A and B are shown apart, each in its own frame.
Chain A
Amino acid sequence: EVVMTQSPATLSVSPGERATLSCRASQSVSSNLAWHQQKPGQAPRLLIYGASTRATGIPARFSGSGSGTEFTLTISSLQSEDFAVYYCQQYNNWPLTFGGGTKVEIK
């Protein structure tokens, strides 16, 4: 199975600053990579699919990039509602797999 590795595990950022999250796949997943955001006590929600396409209603401060095995989620200017855990997920191969998550916390 494709192992997804996210780094860092925790990212401490001040509001208004830029956050950069990384996701690495153990083999190529082409651009079949999604990012999900999960806030405490809530279900995850889709942010990005196709590595770089924002889901409906997702603010433009969220952007995704990469292909193959290296991917990045960037939040250009962190808002209070963006402090959460972010998961990458590949949907190129079965079984589908998630990364372990990156927690973005207030610095």
Chain B
Amino acid sequence: QVQLVQSGAEVKKPGASVKVSCKASGYTFTDNDINWARQATGQGLEWMGWMSPNSGNTGYAQKFQGRVTMTTNTSVNTAYMELSSLKSEDTAVYYCARGRLHHPWGQGTLVTVSS
């Protein structure tokens, strides 16, 4: 079955960077974009951006422009989301998802930013 498995929880200090991975299986990785979204505790979903594993094209939400980098490694069917200059407000669960429909979602990765 189609599955996205994300890397484990991270704890980072303010100003640091974090890189979350998302390994895809059960489908042809290059056939669908990977989208990233995040969710702070008790809050709603916030879309961050997308990347095409086929073309390498990306699109980022304006809020994250200059701080986020999305990449893929097609040899291991894995997508990555790196967020830099972390602030306490970036503490959230980060999700990857397949395609614009976000189907399926990864299980989520908790990123905690604390001094």
- B-binding residues in A (CB < 8 A): 34, 36, 43-46, 49, 55, 87, 89, 91, 94-101
Chain A residues whose C-beta falls within 8 Å of the C-beta of B37 in the assembled complex: 98
A101 to B108, CA, bound (A): 18
Chain B residues whose C-beta falls within 8 Å of the C-beta of A101 in the assembled complex: 44-45
Find out whether the CB atom of B61 lies under 8 angstroms from the CB atom of A55.
no
Q: Does B76 interact with chain A (Cβ within 8 Å)?
A: no
Q: A95-B61, A95-B62, A96-B35 are in contact. Are A87 and B103 (CB under 8 A)?
A: no
Find out whether the CB atom of A44 lies under 8 angstroms from the CB atom of B59.
no
Find out whether the CB atom of A98 lies under 8 angstroms from the CB atom of B45.
yes
Find out whether the CB atom of A96 lies under 8 angstroms from the CB atom of B47.
yes
Chain B residues whose C-beta falls within 8 Å of the C-beta of A95 in the assembled complex: 47, 49, 59, 61-62
Find out whether the CB atom of A96 lies under 8 angstroms from the CB atom of B105.
no
Q: In chain A, what residue has the closest Cβ to B102? A: A46
Q: In the assembled complex, how far is the CB of residue A97 from the closest CB belonging to chain B, in whole angstroms?
A: 6
Find out whether the CB atom of A98 lies under 8 angstroms from the CB atom of B103.
no
List 24 A-B residue pairs with CB atoms under 8 Å apart, sorted by A's residue number. A34-B102, A43-B105, A44-B95, A44-B105, A45-B103, A45-B105, A46-B103, A49-B101, A87-B44, A89-B45, A89-B102, A95-B47, A95-B49, A95-B59, A95-B61, A96-B47, A96-B50, A96-B100, A98-B45, A98-B46, A98-B47, A100-B44, A101-B44, A101-B45
Q: List B37-84 residues whose CB lies under 8 Å from chain A.
A: 37, 44-47, 49-50, 59, 61-62
- Name which of B37, B44, B62 has the most chain A CB atoms within 10 A of its CB: B44
Find out whether the CB atom of B45 lies under 8 angstroms from the CB atom of A43.
no
Q: Kindly list the 10 A-B residue pairs having the minimum CB-CB distance in the complex, ordered from nearest.
A: A91-B100, A46-B103, A43-B105, A98-B45, A96-B47, A95-B61, A100-B44, A101-B44, A49-B101, A43-B108
Q: In chain A, what residue has the closest Cβ to B96? A: A43
A87 to B45, CA, bound (A): 8
